[in-house]
Chains A and B, each alone.
Chain A
Amino acid sequence: MAAALNRALADALDADERVLVFGEDVGPLGGVFRVTDGLAARFGERRVFDTPLAESGIVGTAIGMALNGMRPVVEMQFDAFAYPAFEQITSHLAKMRNRTRGAVELPVVVRIPYGGGIGGVEHHCDSSEAYYTHTPGLRVVTPGTPDDAYALLRDAVECPDPVIFLEPKRHYWTRGDVPLGRSSLGMDRALVRRPGRDVTLIAYGSMVSTALETAEAAAEEGWDVEVVDLRSLTPFDDATVTESVRRTGRAVVVHEASGFGGYGAEVAARLTERCFHHLHAPILRVTGFDVPYPPPMLEEHHLPSVDRVLDAVARLQWDDEVVRSGVGA
């Protein structure tokens, strides 16, 4: 996936001279995850450059550059290191179009490696998506697969709105075929990664693969599981997800972030509002616990696993339906 993102940045830099890439260690080093590898050498340090180590400064200056016609793509080195930029993101980046009645457009992409599962020490593994999805004016997207990483990042760079681009860092090394053409799907649409009849698993980022593995395991138990990859967290693709859940009548939302006040709560609430009469069971969430991200030796207990998701699927009141349909009476 890192290589797909790298290629997307290179192609974006190539396609539009207003695109700039900057942040900490993104120059000669190529980023700590090598996502910007070779870009400084190829495009020069006027377009790809290292900045002082200050995240508010990186996003704040990106705003000024966008005000002057540039299209900055900035890197926050890790999820938790983006917090110093929070005020610039929420008070300025997200609101500038609205504050100025559309007169000022800020096409800035903030790339943030997020999530755990890589044995990272504290402050390197946060799932911070809900902070951003709760902020009107931002678009928040996250690829679940290498092929989508390329298409989504190209779309994000061309988007006239500011985009928080969350990169599931445990998939940086995941391999896959990456078509270099542009997806006709666009940036806002969710994607059914695996069709199924019995239950919809709703996932994004690192959990897409977990959901797909769960679907395989569930098939052995006799459940036909549909997997929806959200891709875009805001705006939320109500149409695609609602259609799926109305059809299957059961849903589980999966994410790494803590559950309380988390993104899954919004998904479950929206689906309940829209699909209530189609549901055979409450919508369940499988999430990280409501604890600060654990140390590496304990993170396996925190992260939603295939078994934990499968357990949730099993709790979807299948027996009630059997009773209701009279089959098991």
Chain B
Amino acid sequence: MARTVLPERQRSLLPSESPLALIDSTGVPVPDPVLEMPPDEVLLELHRRIVIGRRFDTQATALTRQGRLAVYPSSRGQEACEVGAALALREQDWLFPSYRDCVALVARGVDPVETLTLLQGGWHCGYDPHRHRVAPQCTPLATNALHAVGLAHAARLKDEDTVALVLLGDGATSEGDAHEALNFAGVWRAPVVFLVQNNGYAISVPVSKQNAAPSLAHKGIGYGVPSLLIDGNDPAAVHAALTDAVDVAASGGGPTLVEALTYRVEAHTNADDATRYRESDEVAAWLARDPLDRLETYLAARGLLDERRRAAVTEEAEAFAASVRERMNAEVETDPAELFAHVHARPTAALREQATLLAAEIAGGAA
């Protein structure tokens, strides 16, 4: 089904005053003049991926308690953004995730164990970025936005139909690289989409201490980048906004900045204590706007999600989590010699010398 590209008159630099939504927090559809409700099969796939993603996220948090992961930054509550972003991309497009986007990686098809390699500590990036067109998860904030703009601009120079989508948080919008990336993208009209998941907090610092503009989406204006403010807990709205933005970028219309209002239900990571900086009432209010609940209510009301399908998806998610658990419980085999293997295309003489030294040290220790 052909998607509707936002007409030029709606490509305002200014975001709307209130966030665009297609399904409200109670699961009731709301008409939107800009966004079009995704087709049923897309909504069902969003549902399936969100259920699997949430189960994966819970499993990953459990693995931190078992000592199998050094740390895990949960995406719970942000699944509409995570899955909506992954499904909005075409195969040839690139995703530039940050560290909190494991659920997006899994939705994009990256192997879950390879996704968790970074947090497990066996290596830095566990997957081949070229295979799924997913850049390494970025821990420094907003640096990946420039990589996305560069990749997208190179695609245009090569006449390739490739769009780059970068995932940022609210905190990342304060970094200089976010602004440089928006500016370069605007000047070059690069086929890139910026998704800011405004989840309320940069670790403990609320958005009110991060930003004085009417919204984070307003930051696009200064760079000539059209911006949208959307309900980030509405999977339909996120998917619709991002597929439109990808279409616009692919058809030469330039970049789009999308701010999705969502909420980080868990603490920053398992090592953080969120009770030190936010009230439980606030969390409860956001739980009532849960992205999965509202999608299920909407789909059930439409007769698209019966108990049988719901059970089948749950079963698939449980099997997925069980497989992740089992594979993550296997001992990780690390090779000290690999420390020297990927520093340069070919190890330098000095690195070969150091590798020999380490090998001798290990051999001596074992003797």
| Residues of A bordering B, CB below 8 Å | 20, 46-47, 51-52, 54, 56-57, 59-70, 84, 87-88, 91-92, 95-105, 136-137, 139, 159-161, 188, 235-236, 238-239
Contacts and interface: CB of A to CB of B under 8 A. Distances in A.
B184 A57 contact: yes
Given A68-B155, A68-B158, A238-B349, A101 B143 contact: no
A70 B154 contact: yes
A67 B135 contact: yes
B200 to A, nearest CB: 26
Rank and list the top 3 A-B pairs by shortest CB-CB distance, nearest first. Answer: A64-B150, A60-B146, A61-B150
29 contacts: A47-B157, A59-B146, A61-B149, A61-B153, A64-B146, A64-B150, A64-B152, A65-B153, A68-B158, A68-B160, A70-B157, A84-B176, A88-B143, A88-B146, A88-B177, A92-B140, A92-B147, A97-B345, A98-B124, A98-B343, A100-B125, A101-B125, A101-B338, A101-B341, A102-B341, A103-B130, A161-B344, A235-B350, A239-B349
Contacts of B180: 52, 54, 56-57, 60
B249 interface: no
Nearest to B339: A98
Contacts of B177: 56-57, 60, 87-88
A161 B346 CA distance: 9
Interface string B139-166: 0100101111111111101101010100
Given A60-B150, A99-B124, A100-B136, A92 B143 contact: yes
Interface in B167-220: 176-177, 180-181, 183-184, 187
Contact of A101 (B154, B164, B342, B348): B342
B219 to A, nearest CB: 16
B345 A105 contact: yes
Interface of B: 123-125, 128-130, 135-136, 140, 143, 145-155, 157-158, 160, 162, 164, 176-177, 180-181, 183-184, 187, 338, 341-345, 348-350
B158 A69 contact: yes
Contacts of A68: 150-151, 154-155, 158, 160, 162
B100 to A, nearest CB: 18
A57 B153 CA distance: 13
Contact of A64 (B125, B149, B183, B345): B149
A150 B244 CA distance: 48
Contacts of B349: 235, 238-239
A57 B344 contact: no
Contacts of A239: 349
Contacts of A105: 345
B158 A97 contact: no
A139 to B, nearest CB: 7
B151 A67 contact: yes
Contacts of B154: 64-65, 67-70
B147 A63 contact: yes
B345 A67 contact: no
Contacts of A52: 180, 183-184, 187
Contacts of A69: 154, 158
B147 to A, nearest CB: 4
Given A97-B345, A101-B125, A54 B183 contact: yes
B146 A63 contact: yes
Residue of B123, B157, B162, B187 ringed by the most chain A CB atoms within 10 A: B157
B176 A60 contact: no
A20 B150 CA distance: 12
Given A88-B146, A161-B344, A64 B129 contact: no
Contact of A62 (B150, B157, B164, B350): B150
Given A66-B150, A92-B147, 11 more contacts: A46-B157, A51-B184, A57-B184, A60-B180, A64-B148, A65-B153, A88-B143, A102-B341, A103-B130, A104-B129, A238-B349
